[in-house]
Structures are given as C-alpha cells and as structure tokens.
Structure 1
Amino acid sequence: MKRVQYDRYGGPEKMYFGECDVPRVGDGEVRVSVKAAAINPFDWKLRQGAMKLVTGRRFPKAMGTDFAGLVEAAGRNVGNVTVGDEVFGTVDFKKSGAFAEAVVVKADHVAKKPPQLSFAEAASLPIAAMTAWAAVIDRAQARPGARIFINGCSGAVGAFAVQLAISRGAHVAGACGPASRDSARAAGVAPIFAYSDSEAYARGGTYDAVFDTLGTLDVGHGLSMLNPRGVFVDINPTPGRLLRGMLSRRYKLAFATMGIKRLPEIAELAASGTLRPAIGLEAPFTDALSVIADAETGRRTSGKTVLTF
C-alpha cells in the first residue's frame, strides 16, 4: 500500500510516497481503510524530530495521526466496533501512519463515526477535540458561570475549546487574529481581544482559567490573569515555560493523549452539533506532499486541511 513517509528527520523535502505491506492486525486492534486524514502541526513536528527521543531513529517512519474510514479487519478482543463500521480515530504518535491507504490501530483509539459527519469532518476531530477536552474539561473544569480566557480561540484546538466550555455553561473571552473575529463572536466568545492587546486582557477581571493554545502568552502574564483558585493551562511546554510554570501550582499541562478515552463522547457531541469541525481545504491524497508542505511553511487555510482517498 502507499503511504507518506521519511528516511530521516528534517523539513518537507524529507517526505516521499513509499510502498509498504498492508499491516497485520493483532489482538485488540483494527485495520481501517482510510477515507480521510486530517493534517495537524504535530505531524510535521514529529517529522522534524521534535520527539525523536521517543520516536527513535529507526526508519522509514510513517506520517499522520488523525483519520476516518471503514473497519476492514478486527483482531480478537475488540468489542467497540465491527468490520464494516465507519469510524474515526488517531494513531499512537510513536508509530503514526494515518497518511496511508490503510492503518492499524488499537481499537480503543477509534470510535464510530457519527452519520451526520462526512469522513473529512470526522477526521478533523481527534487530536484537536481530545486536546481541547483535556484542557477545558479536565484541567480548567469548565462549569456554569466559570470565566475562561482562551488565547487562540479560533484555531483548531481553540474553536473546540470554546464550544466545549460554552456547552458546560462557562463564559469565554479570548484572543484571535482580525480575520477570525467574526467567527469567534458567532461562536459566543466575548469579549474578543487582538493578540497585541496583552495589557487589556486582565482589565476584564480575573479568570477561573486561562488556556493558551498557541504557546505565545507569557506564563507570568497568564498567571496574573487568574483568580486565587484559577489555573493556567498550557499545551506547548517548552523548557522555559515549564521552568516558569513549576514555580506555581496553578500551571497545568494538557495533552491530547489524556482525551483518547473520550472519543465516544466526542462523537456524541459532534453528532448533536455541540462540536462543529470546520474544513478549510480537502485535497486528494495524491497531493499530500505539497499540501503538507504548504501547511507547514505557513500557507494555511482557515479550518482544517484534510487529505481524501
């Protein structure tokens, strides 16, 4: 089968289409014929070597984490899906491989695709929605009346975070770029700030939680925006940010892997319209190399970029 892979860590030029055997299915695993795969910044960061201490130096390595498709084989001890089911899910980042004609994953890494969603829409859910869940529900504990500030409220993770927080009855303020202000306002964010208005953020009062989706909000400034019991939630833990955050018990990390067990609930929320994936571009798998490179080098669209098969 054909997949996107690379033989060494580096930039977009390291990617190529390779051929590999259709993977076997083990106990507790399913093989999915991929119909759509969403591109995440995490995918090219892995290829660049950001996690090479974990992913190692055994090549070639496959790319891609989020996908949707049809279950074509299931191993023993699989109870949540059966052959023929339409599913969406994510691949363990240590293996990756969603940018391929088929992928084998643990059965608990997939959930049944809501029939209301296209394969492209379903493929856009996993990492972004799982990260938002870990940050807003698990760490920020969104609840009725809570005040939450989201830096990057219109991005893939930020938009889902807004939707989750508001569905829990929280009030959401946020920062975004000028082109996204209307969509953020329509989603219920108020007030909305420009990224450059960092001194204005705190004038609205203290927050129960500040969620920085971008890694651009100074940790000290974010902590100063909190009430005494508030938390600063970070998903971009650079060494400097970690060091600053370790000085405060109110600094919390959130990771997509914390939300894998929530995939069935994410599916239910998407089916009801509470979570609404936004597609910016659907491109054929044959264009994967150029489309990934465009996204990586800044030529991005508003909404998710999805490869279709």
Structure 2
Amino acid sequence: MNIADSPDMQPRLMKALRAHARGGPEQLVYEDAPLPPPPTGSDVCARVTAAAVTFDELTWPETWESDGVDRTPIIPSHEFAGVVFAVGPDVHDYSIGDQVFGLVPFDQDGAAAEVVRLPAANLARKPANVSDVVAAAAVLPALTAMEAVEEHLRLESGQRLLIRGGTGAVGSFLIQFAHRAGIAVTAIVRSRDAVEVVERLGAREVLVGDEPDEVAPASFDASIDSVGAGTPEWLYRAVRPRGRVITLQEAPDAALAEAFDVDAQFFVVSPDAEHLDRLAALLSDGGIEVAVAQTYPLSEGRAAYTDRGRAGRLGKTVLEVPTSSE
C-alpha cells in the first residue's frame, strides 16, 4: 500500500475498485487511485479492512451522481470496517488507531479501497470481539431493519408482520429485530431448505413460494418487501385496512395502496451514531446473527459483484482489504 504514515497522507495513491463509466460489474477495475483529501471539519479517514457488497448499488442513481452531477470514476461498497488514521479538526469522539465500522454516504466514494473518507457521525467503534468482516456485513442490512421496525412499521408487541424475503440480507435482520420487539413474524422464503434458518432467527410462521396461497387477505397488521423492485399485489392485499406496507427498493404502488386502504411507504436508511452504537452493542453481546456468504480480496472485487451470491450461501459478500504489512 502506497500510503505513508504521516498526517498529510503522502504519497497520494491507493489501490481501489473503480468504475469509470456507468454500468454493471463489467465496468469495475482494480487500479491505483488518488487518496481522499485529508479530512476537514467533522470528517475522518480510515484504513479499510473489510467492505461489504450490495449488488444493486450499481443501479442506484446516487452511486453515479450527486445533485445531478456525474461522479465517475466511482468507488462502490459503502459498508465497511477499518482503523481511523486521520481526523478533521471538529472530530472529538475518535482518535487515530480507533477500530471503527460504519456506512459511507451513498453519493460519495465508497469503501472498496484502501482508504475511505466519511463523516464521523456515520461511524461507531467496532467491538474488539467482532471480526471486521462481520461488522462490515452487518452495517447496511441491520441498520435498515432497525429503522424499519422502530420508526416505520410502528407495530406493537403481539401484532402480525409479513416479511417477503426472509433469508435476504435485510430480511434476516428484519426477522430478528421484529422478534426482539415481540412482533409475530411470518416470513416468506423461496426454498424449504431455508425454513429452519428463519425459524431460528425468530419467525413464528414460514411460508414457501413466490406467491404463497396461505396469505389470507387483511390478515396482517403490516408487511414489508425486502426482496427488491416489483412489490406484488398480494403483499398489499395481506394487510388490514389502515395497516402499513413498507418497500425498500422503490416507491410503493399508489393505486394498490388506495385499493387496499393501506399506508404504503418507502425509505432509505439514514445512519446515525446512536443506531450504530446500539448495533455495536448487539454484535458484541451476540444478540443478533450475521451471515457472511463469502469473502473476496479487494483485487477480485469485480468477480465479487459479478457473482451476485450465486454460490447459494446466505448472507453478505465481503471484500477483504490487506494492510500494508500483508
């Protein structure tokens, strides 16, 4: 790694995974790239040790532009763990050498690189008993699930929640956080092989299939689609009048929401230090289960995105970033 130990971070090159043009994994190149500028204000720079992959991020507008301005070349992967090695003058909660994990804003360069720069408010201290790979894998899906359960679904203990995609990265955390809140979870999975997994995570009932017949109309207090775009009609139909439907990939269908008299909402996770600190405590205590499907070295980042988890294992794909001594 061509990064000096001096605060001015000279010479100013690092290894990174970058895309110089919009597209899919075929655009990603492992190459030398400029270091982020030294942190100012409340920003920090961290040496990245692990960066988790969200496959669909290459389709997000925020990946490629900020306020309508093209950002290419871009660095993907916004969930990471690493070590602080430079702080802005307004940063008082972190010092050089602190082990941290966090979420880089989606319209900034991500963490598929040796160094990342981000606001200190998007960080938390990584527990010493939690691996860098596990911490990176948990950040985005766990924060999304935490925010969904606590701020958007607004369910009380004993109420019923239908989750589409119970074995996905977000879905597995939705089950766990909802179960911890006393919510009765029904999870929908595609394979019978996944039933035991989601039951262990806390699902009270598991339905198998893309359009399970067992979902009765108006039988749930809320539903959430953690699979992706194209939320099916039955996920609206399953919710009682004036119940809630949450989508995570695209805005809900207003016509379906009106037809079934439900409150349908879409949100993008908003990381903050409090949520990250709570996640750190849960990870340290073993209070939640984190699945890691596979790891790749940063140099094989293009292959990681191309694979899209086709190995069939549950959990996140994580890029491991070697230190200068490796």
TM-score (norm 1): 0.89
The 3-state SS of whatever aligns with 1:163 is: helix
- 1:35/1:308 contact within 8 Å kept: yes
The 3-state SS of whatever aligns with 1:275 is: coil
Quote the Cα distance in structure 2 between the aligned partners of 1:73 and 1:216: 39
- 1:55/1:94 contact within 8 Å kept: no
Q: 1:181 to 1:113 in 2, by over 3 A?
A: same
Aligned match for 2:132, one of 119, 123, 128? 119
Aligned match for 2:302, one of 243, 265, 289? 289
- 2:242/2:262 contact within 8 Å kept: no
- Unmatched tracts of structure 1, length 5 or more: none
How big is the shift at 1:225?
A: 1.6
Quote the Cα distance in structure 2 between the aligned partners of 1:242 and 1:255: 18
Quote the Cα distance in structure 1 between the aligned partners of 2:142 and 2:172: 9
The 3-state SS of whatever aligns with 2:34 is: coil
How big is the shift at 1:117?
A: 1.0
The 3-state SS of whatever aligns with 2:150 is: helix
Q: Residue 304 of structure 1 corresponds to which residue in structure 2?
A: 316
Q: Residue 11 of structure 2 corresponds to which residue in structure 1?
A: none
Q: 1:66 to 1:139 in 2, by over 3 A?
A: same
The 3-state SS of whatever aligns with 1:125 is: helix
Structure 1 letter corresponding to 2:314:
S
Quote the Cα distance in structure 2 between the aligned partners of 1:216 and 1:25: 37
Q: 1:254 to 1:46 in 2, by over 3 A?
A: closer
- 2:44/2:87 contact within 8 Å kept: yes
Quote the Cα distance in structure 1 between the aligned partners of 2:208 and 2:68: 37
- 2:63/2:76 contact within 8 Å kept: no
Aligned match for 1:107, one of 83, 107, 120? 120
Matches within 5 A, 1:161-240: 161-178=174-191, 179-202=193-216, 206-215=219-228, 218=231, 220-237=233-250
The 3-state SS of whatever aligns with 1:264 is: helix
How big is the shift at 1:172?
A: 0.7
Structure 1 residues 174-209: Cα deviation after superposition (integer angstroms, max 9, x where no partner): 101213211011112121111334331127x72121
Quote the Cα distance in structure 2 between the aligned partners of 1:228 and 1:299: 40
Structure 2 letter corresponding to 1:289:
R
Matches within 5 A, 1:27-106: 27-46=41-60, 52=65, 54=67, 56-106=69-119
- Between Structure 1 and Structure 2, the one with more helix by share is 1
Quote the Cα distance in structure 2 between the aligned partners of 1:246 and 1:50: 32
Structure 1 residues 99-156: Cα deviation after superposition (integer angstroms, max 9, x where no partner): 0001010000111112221000000122111211222211112432121111101111
Structure 1 residues 256-300: Cα deviation after superposition (integer angstroms, max 9, x where no partner): 22667521112122222222211111221122111221117x455
TM-score (norm 2): 0.85
How big is the shift at 1:29?
A: 0.7
- 1:5/1:16 contact within 8 Å kept: yes
Quote the Cα distance in structure 1 between the aligned partners of 2:125 and 2:316: 20
Q: Residue 279 of structure 1 corresponds to which residue in structure 2?
A: 292
The 3-state SS of whatever aligns with 2:50 is: strand
**Rg bigger for which structure?**
2
Structure 2 letter corresponding to 1:100:
A
Quote the Cα distance in structure 2 between the aligned partners of 1:67 and 1:135: 21
Quote the Cα distance in structure 1 between the aligned partners of 2:68 and 2:292: 29
Q: 1:259 to 1:136 in 2, by over 3 A?
A: farther
Q: 1:307 to 1:215 in 2, by over 3 A?
A: closer
- Unmatched tracts of structure 2, length 5 or more: 1-13, 322-326
Matches within 5 A, 1:265-276: 265-276=278-289
- 1:142/1:169 contact within 8 Å kept: no
How big is the shift at 1:45?
A: 2.1
Q: Residue 151 of structure 2 corresponds to which residue in structure 1?
A: 138
How big is the shift at 1:17?
A: 1.6
Structure 2 letter corresponding to 1:208:
D
Q: Which moved more, 1:247-256 or 1:136-145?
A: 247-256
- 2:243/2:262 contact within 8 Å kept: no
